[in-house]
């Protein structure tokens, strides 16, 4: 693994390659010197052989002379003497060759000189013998002495030559052994050289292969990325552009052109050409922003409009920022994206918001009419009713009295309805000033406010510890007053109501809008009673405006109270839930965000 890692590292590989080349160079130089040495030893052997050859040649020429002379002395035949000087030139040539081989070797030249003296002396003996033989007064004893002298001279010449030859032979032998060693060394060096070169070649090849594969892969990926980017630009409706501040050149992506409603590369990328597509009203400001940014190199973000050739207007968001490319040139890179759809949607939302506000204002004035202007004549009716009741009631027939009571009840009912409606609209619109509220104090206050009703019904109300919450004071009061009076109102006949208000832990199962509600996010407060209750299937209905479950006249109500409670909980970013069972009781759960 580690090796593989090193192998992949180009730097390490380069170093290894350099080392290998140095090693090869060294081995090659060693090989070269070995070859050089081999060359000299071959030369040495050759010169030895030549020396040997020349020496033996000399000996054989001298032998021939002796033989010819002997033959003449024995036969007295002049024929044997005919070519006696012929070979003198050959001896000279031999000596010359020997000297040439010996070169500058002074020992050898000395040897050759002494050999030449011997030969010269021998030739003198030949001449002396010949003179004695030819002389008329032939002295036989002198002849014999000279012959003996000649023989010993020949002997010593032979000895001398063979000594030289032997020396040369032993020298050759030595050279040969050396030569053999050097030859072996060279073979090993050469083998190593080949092996190493082969290894490096293989490694280089492999590495190159790997590199090329990787390059190819990267290239493919880059191509793919480019392609997906182009697709993405087209799908997302954005295009990008580059401006090289050093080279003063623009580059536009394909979709940059498409955003302007033209084919990719429809014109030369330049600021001027893009300017033709800018909405005339935006032209100056856009150009100014762009040009300013080229001076101060600050990022830009502007909204602009394209006026396309077909007359359509596109809303474009253009953002740009500065960076340096691989050459170190300062480049402004930007993205333009089409926000026409969003922009139009925003306009629509603004428009409908405006409409909503108008409707709300109308609704508010309607509520004012309902609450104040309608209450005014109603109050008059009630006043006159009470005046009549006080003064004139006795003048009516029993039937008339009955109708009169009904008029009063109807008027009173209408009054509560108007007050509830007013409360509802106040809760729906009201100022939402949140303050920290101690719920326990607040609930106690509500109980005080309802003390008349509570005493009348002989109700028992239990308030346990309640948390502090952030809330709108008067809305919280209204919430608890509504819930408590609801419990009082829908109590069982002849059974004193029992109402409990307490804080509860949220069990894991609590859900709202398919969201799990937990103790960390919400306070849960439960208001429960032992009243007449209702079927759970109506649970949603009780919170709807003007929806009443009980139509029995003994349960008076307007169907607004619980709708107000729901609204109040919504105003507090909380919610209300109800669980109820007929003739068992009802349990309202309030969830306040912490």
Q: Which residues bind other proteins (CB under 8 A)?
A: 372, 375-376, 378-380, 382-383, 386-387, 390, 415, 419, 426, 444-445, 448, 451, 474
Nearest Cα residue to 461 out of 472, 470, 453: 453
Instruction: Quote the CA–CA distance of 428 and 448 in Å, as a whole number.
Output: 26
Residue pair 529/487 in contact by the 8 Å Cβ criterion: yes
Measured from the CB atom, is 445 or 571 closer to other proteins?
445
Q: Which helix (H) or strand (E) holds 34?
A: helix 10-75
- Work out how close the CB of 426 gets to other proteins at its nearest, in angstroms, rounded to a whole number: 8
- Work out how close the CB of 380 gets to other proteins at its nearest, in angstroms, rounded to a whole number: 6
- Work out how close the CB of 448 gets to other proteins at its nearest, in angstroms, rounded to a whole number: 5
Measured from the CB atom, is 425 or 491 closer to other proteins?
425
Alpha helix (H) residue ranges in 245-339: 254-259, 271-275, 280-296
- Work out how close the CB of 542 gets to other proteins at its nearest, in angstroms, rounded to a whole number: 27
Residue pair 497/459 in contact by the 8 Å Cβ criterion: yes
Instruction: Quote the CA–CA distance of 487 and 447 in Å, as a whole number.
Output: 12
Beta-sheet pairing, 498-504 with 460-463: parallel
Measured from the CB atom, is 185 or 444 closer to other proteins?
444
- Work out how close the CB of 464 gets to other proteins at its nearest, in angstroms, rounded to a whole number: 16
- Kindly give, in sequence order, each residue whose CB lies less than 8 Å from that of residue 322, ignoring residues fewer than 6 positions away: 293, 297, 299, 330, 331, 332, 333
Instruction: Quote the CA–CA distance of 5 and 188 in Å, as a whole number.
Output: 33
Measured from the CB atom, is 163 or 380 closer to other proteins?
380
Nearest Cα residue to 321 out of 336, 311, 334: 334
- Cα dihedral 561, 563, 569, 574, rounded to 10, equals 140
- Work out how close the CB of 342 gets to other proteins at its nearest, in angstroms, rounded to a whole number: 41
Measured from the CB atom, is 391 or 515 closer to other proteins?
391
Measured from the CB atom, is 260 or 564 closer to other proteins?
564
Question: DSSP per residue over 163-221, as a string?
Answer: HHHHHHHHHHHHHHHHHHHHHHHHHHHHHHHHHHHHHHHHHHHHHHHHHHHHHHHHHHH
Measured from the CB atom, is 310 or 376 closer to other proteins?
376
- Work out how close the CB of 423 gets to other proteins at its nearest, in angstroms, rounded to a whole number: 10
């Amino acid at each position: 693994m580690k090796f593989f890692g090193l192998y992949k590292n180009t730097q390490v590989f380069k170093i290894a390659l350099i080392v290998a080349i140095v090693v090869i160079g060294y081995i090659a130089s060693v090989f070269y010197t070995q070859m050089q040495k081999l060359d000299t030893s071959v030369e040495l052997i050759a010169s030895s052989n030549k020396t040997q050859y020349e020496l033996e040649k000399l000996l054989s020429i001298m032998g021939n002379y002796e033989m010819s002379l002997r033959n003449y002395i024995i036969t007295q035949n002049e024929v044997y003497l005919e070519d006696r000087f012929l070979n003198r030139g050959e001896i000279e040539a031999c000596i010359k060759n020997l000297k040439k081989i010996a070169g500058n070797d002074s020992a050898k030249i000395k040897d050759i000189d002494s050999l030449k003296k011997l030969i010269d002396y021998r030739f003198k003996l030949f001449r002396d013998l010949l003179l004695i033989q030819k002389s008329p007064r032939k002295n036989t004893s002198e002849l014999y002495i000279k012959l003996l002298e000649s023989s010993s001279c020949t002997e010593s010449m032979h000895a001398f030559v063979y000594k030289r030859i032997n020396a040369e032979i032993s020298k050759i032998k030595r050279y040969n052994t050396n030569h053999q060693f050097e030859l072996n060394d060279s073979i090993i060096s050469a083998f190593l050289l080949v092996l190493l070169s082969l290894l490096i070649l293989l490694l280089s090849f492999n590495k190159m292969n790997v590199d090329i594969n990787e390059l190819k892969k990267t290239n493919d990926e880059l191509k793919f990325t480019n392609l997906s980017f182009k697709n993405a630009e087209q799908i997302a409706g954005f295009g990008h552009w580059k401006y090289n501040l050093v080279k003063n050149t623009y580059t536009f992506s394909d979709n940059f052109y498409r955003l302007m409603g033209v084919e990719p590369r429809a014109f030369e990328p330049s600021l001027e050409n893009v300017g033709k597509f800018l909405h005339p009203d935006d032209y100056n400001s856009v150009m100014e922003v762009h040009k300013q940014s080229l001076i101060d190199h600050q990022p830009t973000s502007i909204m602009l409009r394209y006026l396309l050739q077909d007359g359509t207007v596109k809303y474009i968001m253009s953002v740009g920022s500065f960076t340096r490319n691989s050459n170190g040139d300062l480049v402004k890179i930007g993205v333009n994206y089409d926000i026409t759809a969003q922009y139009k949607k925003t306009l629509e939302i603004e428009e409908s918001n405006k409409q909503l506000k108008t409707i709300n204002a109308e609704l508010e004035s309607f509520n004012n009419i309902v609450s104040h202007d309608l209450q005014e004549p109603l109050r008059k009716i009630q006043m006159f009713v009470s005046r009549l009741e006080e003064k004139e009631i006795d003048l009516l027939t029993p039937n008339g009295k009955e109708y009169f009571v009904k008029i009063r009840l109807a008027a009173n009912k209408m009054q509560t309805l108007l007050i509830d409606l007013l409360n509802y609209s106040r809760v729906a619109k009201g100022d939402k000033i949140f303050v920290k509220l101690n719920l326990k104090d607040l609930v106690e206050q509500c109980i005080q406010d309802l003390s008349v009703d509570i005493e009348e019904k002989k109700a028992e109300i239990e308030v346990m510890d309640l948390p502090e919450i952030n809330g709108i004071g008067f809305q919280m009061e209204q919430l608890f007053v509504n819930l408590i009076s609801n419990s009082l109102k829908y109590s069982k006949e002849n059974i004193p109501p029992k109402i409990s208000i307490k804080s509860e832990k949220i069990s894991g199962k609590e859900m709202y809008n398919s969201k799990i509600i937990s103790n960390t996010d919400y306070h849960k407060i439960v208001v429960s009673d032992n009243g007449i209750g209702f079927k759970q299937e109506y649970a949603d209905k009780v919170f709807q405006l003007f929806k009443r479950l009980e139509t029995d006249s003994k349960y008076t109500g307007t169907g607004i109270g619980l709708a107000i409670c729901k609204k109040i909980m919504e105003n507090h970013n909380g919610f209300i839930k109800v669980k109820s069972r007929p003739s068992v009781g009802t349990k309202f759960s309030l969830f306040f965000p912490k």
